[in-house]
């Protein structure tokens, strides 16, 4: 196979006569650079365009060939350039040493032109194959990353669509899912360094938490309109039916997970949030009466976010409350309704909650 016209070779030898001989052999097929210095060879190798192959003498003053090869291999910019050693040494131990350092091949002096050309062509073919494989792998990695990002986007849109579909049953909730999602994510990041939460609130967990948060009330699609939209306080029977939305949502998500027959990480958190975001720290919540640390962290964060947003926005059964009043109600629930540490995080970042509420305010 003829060499590509831009194939570049670097010859390094402290004897100018050797450089001249090698140049005469190689220049008809390749672009050849030559130097008598190991230091200069390192500089040339690091320049753009880089040589495709280096023919490197071992016995040189200053930096010998072994030292030059070691420095080539230690530099990420030059470590993949193949090197053929040129040497008058005939000890196989020297050859083994060079190969162990990363030399691609060995050519003994005095050189034989046909042998030099054959060895050079072989190493260039190997390099071309390796470069092709590397480029192919880079393309595959890029394509995988692109498709993962696309799937991630589709998943996020699908979750949002499901959440909005659920909220069409209750149009007065408006941008509730956007606000609660932002509250939960901000609160999780604020508590990530807390000793009680650090092991759980990893960056990956927070990402999944934010993704799954919009599904917290997905079970409301199963609540009859005369209860969901009732303008006023629910009676005992109606309230019992309303409370089933947490189990309905968790069950639906569990069924979806079974249908795909594969674990979907965010669904695990979505099920926790849907089922347990109405649990209370003192055990008086529903549906399972969990208390304290038995309540999943995801649900503890959503519990506060959900209540705060409900307090500051009008519903069919109540008017909106002022921000300060809502804050005071959250504080009053510290240790009874809410995890005390979660309330403390909320108070420390109250202005951020106010900003989120304003950013995603409902249309007039």
Q: What are the DSSP calls for 308-336, one per residue?
A: HHHHHS-BTTBPPPPHHHHHHHHHHTBTT
Q: What's 63's domain CATH number?
A: 3.40.50.2300
End-of-domain residue from the set 124, 140, 156: 140
Work out the mean pLDDT of the chain and round it to a whole number.
88
Q: Which residue has the higher pLDDT, 98 or 2?
A: 98
Q: Tell me: do 115 and 205 sit in the same domain.
A: no
One domain for residues 197 and 58: no
What three-state secondary structure class fits 169? Answer: coil
Whether residue 115 is found in the same domain as residue 179: no
Q: What is the CATH number of the domain that holds 236?
A: 1.10.3210.10
Residues 132 and 177 placed together within one structural domain of the fold? no
Both 190 and 319 in a single domain?
A: yes
* CA dihedral (317, 320, 326, 330) positive or negative: positive
Lowest mean pLDDT: which of 1-10, 83-92, 207-216, 340-349? 1-10
Model confidence pTM above 0.85 = no
Domain hosting 24: range is 8-140
Give pLDDT, residue 91. 56
Segment 272-297 mean pLDDT:
97
pLDDT at 187 over 60: yes
Please check whether residues 211 and 340 belong to one and the same domain: yes
The answer on 110 and 174 residing in a single domain is no
The sign of the dihedral angle between the CA atoms of 202, 203, 208, 210 is positive
Would you say residue 65 lies in a domain?
A: yes
For the segment 304-335, what is each residue's pLDDT rounded down to a tens digit? 999 999 999 988 778 899 999 999 999 999 99
* Rounded Cα gap, residues 10 and 18, in angstroms: 13
Length of the chain as a residue count: 364
pLDDT of residue 1: 46
CB atoms within 10 A of CB 115: 12
Based on the domain organization, do 236 and 131 belong to the same domain? no
Residue 89 pLDDT grade (very low, low, confident, very high; cuts 50, 70, 90): low
The most confident of 49-63, 130-144, 146-160, 180-194, by mean pLDDT: 180-194
Residue 309 lies in a domain: yes
151 part of a folded domain: no
Q: How far apart are CA 276 and CA 342, in angstroms?
A: 16
In a domain, 43, yes or no: yes
Confidence band (pLDDT; 50, 70, 90) for 106?
confident
Task: Report the pLDDT averaged over residues 114-135.
Answer: 90
The encoded tokens of residue 273 equal 């949030």
Q: Is pLDDT of 260 > 90?
A: no
Handedness of CA 318, 319, 325, 331 (dihedral sign): positive
283 pLDDT exceeds 90?
yes
Per cent of the chain over pLDDT 70 is: 88
Same domain assignment for residues 125 and 185: no
The answer to whether residues 78 and 46 touch, using CB atoms and an 8 Å cutoff, is: yes
Q: Is residue 156 part of a domain?
A: no
Considering the domain architecture, whether residues 125 and 229 belong to the same structural domain is answered as: no
Instruction: State whether 292 and 201 are in the same domain.
Output: yes
Please, are residues 239 and 278 in contact by the beta-carbon 8 Å criterion? no
- More confident position, 52 or 145: 52
Q: Is the pLDDT of residue 234 over 70?
A: yes
Cα dihedral sign, 187-191-193-198: negative
Q: Are residues 111 and 194 in the same domain?
A: no
Mean pLDDT of all residues in 257-273: 80
Confidence of residue 160 (pLDDT cuts 50, 70, 90): low
Give the residue from 121, 140, 159 where a domain finishes: 140
Q: Tell me how many domains the chain contains.
A: 2
Distance, CA of 188 to chain centre: 18
Confidence of residue 123 (pLDDT cuts 50, 70, 90): very high
């Amino acid at each position: 196979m003829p060499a590509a016209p831009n194939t570049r070779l670097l010859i390094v030898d402290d004897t100018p006569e050797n450089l001249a001989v090698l140049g005469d052999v190689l220049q008809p097929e390749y672009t050849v650079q030559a130097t008598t210095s190991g230091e200069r060879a390192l500089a040339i190798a690091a320049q753009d365009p880089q040589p495709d192959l280096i023919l490197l003498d071992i016995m040189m003053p200053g930096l010998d060939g072994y030292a030059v090869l070691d420095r080539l291999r230690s530099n990420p910019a030059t470590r993949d350039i193949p090197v053929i050693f040129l040497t008058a040494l005939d000890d196989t131990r020297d050859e083994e040493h060079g190969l162990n350092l990363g030399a691609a091949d060995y050519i003994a002096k005095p050189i034989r032109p046909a042998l030099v050309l054959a060895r050079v062509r072989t190493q260039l073919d190997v390099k071309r194959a390796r470069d092709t494989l590397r480029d192919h792998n880079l393309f595959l990695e890029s394509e995988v990353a692109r498709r993962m990002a696309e799937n991630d986007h589709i998943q996020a849109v699908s979750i949002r669509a499901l959440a909005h579909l659920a909220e069409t049953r209750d149009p007065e909730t408006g941008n509730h899912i956007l606000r609660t999602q932002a509250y939960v994510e901000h609160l999780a990041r604020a508590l990530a360094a807390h000793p009680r939460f650090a092991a759980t609130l990893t960056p990956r967990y927070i990402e999944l938490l934010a993704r799954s948060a919009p599904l917290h009330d997905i079970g409301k699609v199963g609540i009859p309109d005369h209860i969901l939209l009732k303008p006023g306080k629910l009676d005992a029977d109606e309230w019992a039916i309303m409370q089933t939305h947490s189990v309905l949502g968790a069950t639906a998500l569990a069924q979806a997970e079974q249908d795909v027959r594969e674990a979907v990480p965010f669904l695990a958190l979505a099920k926790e949030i849907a089922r347990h975001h109405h649990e209370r720290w003192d055990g008086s919540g529903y549906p399972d009466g969990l208390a304290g640390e038995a309540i999943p962290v995801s649900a503890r964060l959503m519990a506060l976010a959900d209540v705060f947003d409900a307090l500051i926005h009008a519903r069919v059964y109540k008017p909106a409350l002022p921000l300060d009043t809502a804050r005071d109600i959250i504080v009053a629930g510290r240790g009874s309704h809410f995890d005390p540490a979660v309330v403390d995080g909320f108070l420390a970042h109250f202005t951020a909650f106010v900003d989120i509420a304003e950013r995603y305010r409902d249309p007039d």
